[in-house]
Amino acid sequence: MLEVKDVSKKYGKLMANNHLSFTLEDGMVGILLGPNGAGKSTIFKSIAGLLRYEGEITIAGYVNKTSEARAALGFVPEIPAMYPNLTVEEHLDFIARAYRLKDYEERKEALLRRFELDDKRRKFGDELSKGMQQKLSICCALLTDPKLIILDEPLVGLDPHAIKELKKTFEELKAQGTTVLISTHMIESVDMIWDKAFILYRGELLATLTKSDLDREGVSLEDKFFELTEGGSEE
Ligand code: ATP
């Protein structure tokens, strides 16, 4: 479903992503782990087609900048970007129109209820708290029922109810066969659902781990992460 082939991204002299290659098969939940500044947001933005980079990225077999790939992808960026002059409800209607969704009302209402935004539907983008913006950004990405959804630090800033609902959403996405890639520092929050973990460090992919391999070794992902990245933050 997602193939990242030899992708590099430089900011000036800094190699934010250094020849990254990894794949996430259909229906898998992948997690991207790495200390601050490891290059997680950079590869997410590249996957979403928002950056220029070297290498190749395909989604569902299509190069990521094609309309087919874009239609298959849902992206929740690290920092939500809402339109100040659109209400919560108008954001979702706008996405529905852009993606030419039909019969989306029921799904929209269910998302608004799930993330406790139903009573905020007439609030404008610039009237929302950071957590509300994050929840709306998640709802926008889920509305299109994407084949692949990538979420950059989605749990940051959410209240306990929203964290619980988002974790439940991950489980449902996995059960329905959606491919999911999540970057997070909260390893315990995704520990039950991940299949593959990618450890990034200073722009390089240090390891690709599978849940079944770690279970066989009897090692927790957290311990493995620290073993591989000892030294902590690079900034
Ligand atoms: P965090 O966990 O703190 O969100 P990250 O793993 O998402 O970090 P990135 O945001 O991808 O890391 O940043 C990777 C490196 O690229 C960092 O050293 C960062 O300072 C640098 N960087 C990111 N964006 C830019 C930019 N627009 N211009 C220059 N350098 C950048």
Task: Write out pLDDT tens, residues 61-111.
Answer: 999 999 999 999 999 999 998 999 999 999 999 999 999 999 999 999 999
How large is the average pLDDT for residues 103-131? 92
Distance separating alpha carbons of residues 118 and 113, to the nearest angstrom: 5
Instruction: State the pLDDT at residue 69.
Output: 94
Mutational pocket test of ligand 1: of 41, 155, 185, 235, the residue with most ligand atoms within 8 Å of the beta carbon? 41
Whether residue 15 contacts residue 8, with contact meaning beta carbons closer than 8 Å, is answered with: yes
% of the chain at pLDDT higher than 90: 69
User: Ligand 1: which residues within 6 Å by Cβ?
Assistant: 11, 14, 16, 34, 36-42
- Whole-number Å distance between alpha carbons of 36 and 18: 16
Nearest CA owner, ligand 1 atom 10: 41
pLDDT tens-digit series, residues 201-232: 999 999 999 999 999 989 989 888 888 888 54
2-229 architecture in CATH?
3-Layer(aba) Sandwich (3.40)
| Predicted confidence (pLDDT) per residue in 16-63, tens digit | 999 999 999 999 999 999 999 999 999 999 999 999 999 999 999 999
Pick 233 or 84 by higher pLDDT. Answer: 84
Among 4, 9, 31, 42, which is best to mutate for testing ligand 1, by the most ligand atoms less than 8 A from CB? 42
Q: Which of 199, 209, 195 is closest to 231 using CA atoms? A: 199
User: DSSP of 146-199, one letter per residue?
Assistant: -SEEEEESTTTT--HHHHHHHHHHHHHHHHTT-EEEEE-S-GGGGTTT-SEEEE
Q: What is the pLDDT of residue 12?
A: 93
Whether pTM > 0.85 for this model: the answer is yes
Spatial contact of 48 and 75, defined as CB atoms under 8 Å apart: yes
Residue 235 has a pLDDT of 45
Q: What angle do CA 115, 132, 44 make, to 5 degrees?
A: 90
| 39 Cα nearest atom in ligand 1 | 11
What is the edge-to-edge ordering of all strands in the sheet holding 14-24? 14-24, 2-11, 54-59, 62-63
Q: What are the φ/ψ torsions at residue 144 (nearest 5 degrees)? A: -80, -5
